[in-house]
């Protein structure tokens, strides 16, 4: 297995802006939590004590804060606060947050699971939640489901995968109800393996289609991305590919920028490459392999097919970028995807032993990466080019070396979290 790829780039300006926003959001969040929720006086009093204890003035006393939040939840039960209201579930989330800060992960996970079950039970009963509130509840459900899967994945990624799927499928079904066209697309994409997916990236968006995913669009695609990561972690790369290709198709009609959709398509290619690597390992171990259509084929043959699919994805990304209107190509994130896709093709050429082509593509990737400030990718291309130059020089001198063993290319980056510019949450919004 090759060493891990470079992470996505970090730009200082965005980092400083993000830090400032986090600080402002923390202050605003404290004020909003008290003033914009309709807490009964008995509950609000306990809540204020909890917020004070966990803050700077209270010395970050999370144990005391937890005690007050549990008291607040008891008061909420006494006054009959609705168990699915933002106020009641917000208290549950504060309790789970304190458990996490006290390193009581199992207790936190139980709270998240309890809340998730309450949401899914209510959402599957058409008589519990008013129609106009369903999108909001689905959004909150997905946030809790993501957090639950994140905690569960540390010990049982298979269970985390199954649990997460239940929640995002319900959200998909909600979108499908909005129009026959969306229903046909969503219900027909369950076995998506074809990379020739219809992508219209000219900037024109059907507002009715885009509105159908609101307000939980980002949460849904984040959940699907985490599902892809869990599929890879549990060895189900075929399902990871299928899910990623489907997500890419849906992103094109849900209002995402072209750069985000193209990054998703690039990631599908990166997973194909990962599958090819796995199959090559199986080939060395002489293990029998069954293809996606149920036929028994050699691992080497399937690895060749997967590598071809990876190459086709990267090439398609570059082709789609060339067809973009100039106003969209000015997006700096498009430059990132272009550099990555070029790098991916260079790695494949290197893998196949086509050193001259690999050198050309890696040099182009390095140039593009430097041009858009993608320093980690530029450094990675430099490392590969240095190895490549040594191999080319050895070939000129007719030295008897194994070129591929000497080079050992790094796999294309799988930046799953960057598709929608949102990392999987480590906290859930109250």
- What's residue 427's pLDDT? 46
Q: What ranges in 124-156 are assigned the alpha helix state H?
A: 134-152
Q: Which two tokens stand for residue 416?
A: 């799953």
Global pTM reads 0.83
Domain boundaries, the chain: 17-103, 257-430
CB 55 within 8 A of CB 30: yes
Query: What CA–CA distances, in Å, run from 55 to 60, 65, 67?
Result: 5, 9, 14
Find the helix packing angle between 237-251 and 180-187, rounded to 10°.
160
Q: Could you report the per-residue pLDDT of 149-168, keeping only the tens digit for each?
A: 999 999 999 999 999 999 99
Q: Could you report the per-residue pLDDT of 6-32, keeping only the tens digit for each?
A: 444 443 344 344 444 434 344 334 444
Place of tokens 């530029």: 378
- What's residue 6's pLDDT? 46
- What's residue 191's pLDDT? 58
To 5 degrees, how large is the angle CA 91–CA 93–CA 99? 110
Contacts with 207 (C-beta within 8 Å, 6 or more apart), sequence order: none
- What's residue 393's pLDDT? 78
CB 179 within 8 A of CB 208: yes
Q: Which value, in Å, is the radius of gyration of the alpha carbons in the chain?
A: 25
CB atoms within 10 A of CB 375: 14
CB 117 within 8 A of CB 98: no
Q: Could you report the per-residue pLDDT of 53-95, keeping only the tens digit for each?
A: 999 999 999 999 999 999 999 999 999 999 999 999 999 999 9
For 36-60, give the secondary structure using H, E and C.
Answer: CCCCCHHHHHHHHHHHHHHCCCCCC
- What's residue 44's pLDDT? 93
Q: Is 89 exposed, middle or buried (0-12, 13-18, 19+ CB in 10 A)?
A: buried
Q: Which among 369, 394, 347 is positioned nearest to 9, based on CA atoms?
A: 369
Residue 107's beta-bridge partner residues? none
Q: Which two tokens stand for residue 328?
A: 């969209």
Q: Which among 323, 320, 358, 318 is positioned nearest to 338, based on CA atoms?
A: 318
Task: Work out the percent of the chain whose per-residue pLDDT is above 90.
Answer: 61
Average pLDDT, the chain: 83
Look at residue 301 and give its three-state secondary structure.
helix
CA distance 221 to 223: 5
CB 321 within 8 A of CB 334: yes
Query: What CA–CA distances, in Å, run from 21 to 17, 28, 46, 344, 425?
Result: 6, 10, 28, 34, 16
Element of type H or E holding 349? helix 332-351
Place of tokens 């039960």: 77
Give mean pLDDT, residues 321-342: 88
Q: Between 210 and 203, whose confidence is greater?
A: 210
Q: Between 353 and 189, whose confidence is greater?
A: 353
Give mean pLDDT, residues 130-135: 94
- What's residue 2's pLDDT? 36
- What's residue 162's pLDDT? 96
Residue 66: φ, ψ to 5°: -60, -40
> Is it the case that residue 289 has pLDDT exceeding 50?
yes
């Amino acid at each position: 297995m090759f060493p891990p790829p470079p992470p996505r780039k970090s730009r200082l300006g965005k980092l400083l802006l993000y830090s400032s926003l986090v600080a402002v959001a923390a202050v605003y969040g404290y004020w909003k939590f008290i003033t914009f929720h309709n807490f009964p006086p008995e509950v609000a009093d306990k809540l204020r004590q909890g917020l004070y204890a966990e803050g700077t003035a209270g010395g970050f006393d999370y144990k005391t804060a937890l005690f007050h939040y549990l008291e607040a939840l008891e008061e909420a039960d006494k006054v009959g606060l609705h168990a699915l209201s933002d106020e009641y579930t917000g208290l549950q989330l504060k309790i789970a947050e304190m458990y996490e800060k006290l390193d009581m992960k199992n207790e936190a996970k139980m709270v998240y699971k309890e809340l998730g079950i309450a949401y899914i039970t209510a959402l599957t009963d058409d008589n519990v939640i008013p129609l106009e509130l369903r999108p909001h509840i689905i959004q909150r459900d997905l946030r809790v489901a993501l957090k639950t899967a994140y905690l569960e994945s540390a010990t049982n990624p298979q269970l985390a995968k199954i649990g997460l799927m239940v929640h995002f499928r319900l959200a998909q079904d909600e979108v499908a109800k909005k129009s026959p066209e969306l229903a046909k697309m969503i219900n027909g994409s369950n076995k998506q393996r074809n990379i020739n997916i219809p992508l219209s990236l000219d900037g024109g968006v059907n507002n009715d289609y885009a509105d159908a995913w609101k307000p939980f669009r980002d949460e849904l695609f984040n959940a699907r991305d985490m599902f892809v990561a869990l599929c890879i972690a549990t060895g189900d790369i075929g399902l990871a590919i299928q899910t990623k290709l489907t997500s890419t198709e849906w992103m094109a009609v849900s209002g995402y920028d072209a750069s985000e959709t193209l990054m998703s398509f690039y990631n599908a290619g990166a997973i194909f490459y990962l599958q090819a690597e796995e199959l090559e390992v199986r080939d060395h171990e002489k293990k029998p392999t069954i293809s996606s259509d149920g036929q028994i084929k050699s691992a080497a043959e399937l690895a060749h097919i997967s590598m071809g699919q990876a190459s086709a994805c990267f090439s398609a990304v570059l082709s789609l970028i060339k067809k973009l209107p100039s106003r969209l190509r000015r997006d700096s994130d498009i430059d990132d995807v272009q550099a990555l896709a070029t790098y991916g093709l260079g790695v494949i050429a290197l893998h196949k032993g086509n050193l001259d082509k690999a050198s050309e593509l890696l040099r182009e990737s390095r140039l593009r990466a430097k041009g858009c400030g993608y320093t980690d990718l530029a450094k990675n291309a430099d490392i590969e080019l240095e190895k490549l130059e040594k191999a080319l020089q050895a070939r000129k001198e007719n030295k008897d070396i194994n070129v591929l063993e000497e080079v050992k290319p790094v796999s294309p980056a799988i930046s799953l979290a960057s598709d929608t510019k949102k990392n999987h949450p480590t906290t859930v919004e109250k």
